């Protein structure tokens, strides 16, 4: 079955810096890759997603890139703010079925 690896497990940046989180997946049939942000005690919230027919997608300060050949995808956050501090999860899915999640990255943005 699918396996998703996520790095780093923790990431500390200064306000205004960029943050990059990377994930790899194993199943070449996976074609949908969402990213979720989860604050302590809250539900995971979808922040951006990408499909396998697209190489890059951007939404304001957030962007995601996908390399199908290498089976990896990355989340880029620019101009980080303290409110970006949270746990971020990548996930992979085939045709919108079960999401297989990475273990998460705890992002801390200090002002």
> What is the contact surface with other proteins in residues (CB under 8 A)?
6, 32, 34, 36, 42-46, 49, 51, 89, 91, 93, 95-104
Q: Which C-beta is closer to other proteins: that of 16 or that of 96?
A: 96
Residue 4 C-beta: closest distance to other proteins, Å: 8
Residue 14 C-beta: closest distance to other proteins, Å: 25
What does the CA dihedral 110, 8, 100, 72 come to, rounded to 10 degrees?
120
For residue 71, what are its two tokens?
A: 């089976």
Give strand pairing partners of 48: 35
For residue 105, what are its two tokens?
A: 């990255």
Q: Which C-beta is closer to other proteins: that of 1 or that of 69?
A: 1
Residue 2 C-beta: closest distance to other proteins, Å: 10
Whether omega before 8 lies within 30 degrees of 0, making that bond cis, reads yes
């Amino acid at each position: 079955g699918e396996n998703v690896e996520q790095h780093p497990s923790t990431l500390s940046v200064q306000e205004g810096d960029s943050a990059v989180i990377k994930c790899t997946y194993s199943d070449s049939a996976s074609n949908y890759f969402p990213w979720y942000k989860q604050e302590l005690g809250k539900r995971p919230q979808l922040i951006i997603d990408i499909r396998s027919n697209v190489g890059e997608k951007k939404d304001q300060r957030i962007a995601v890139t996908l390399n199908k050949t290498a089976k990896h995808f990355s989340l880029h956050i620019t101009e980080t703010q303290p409110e970006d501090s949270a746990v971020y999860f990548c996930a992979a899915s085939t045709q919108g079925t079960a999401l297989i999640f990475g273990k998460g990255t705890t992002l801390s943005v200090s002002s």
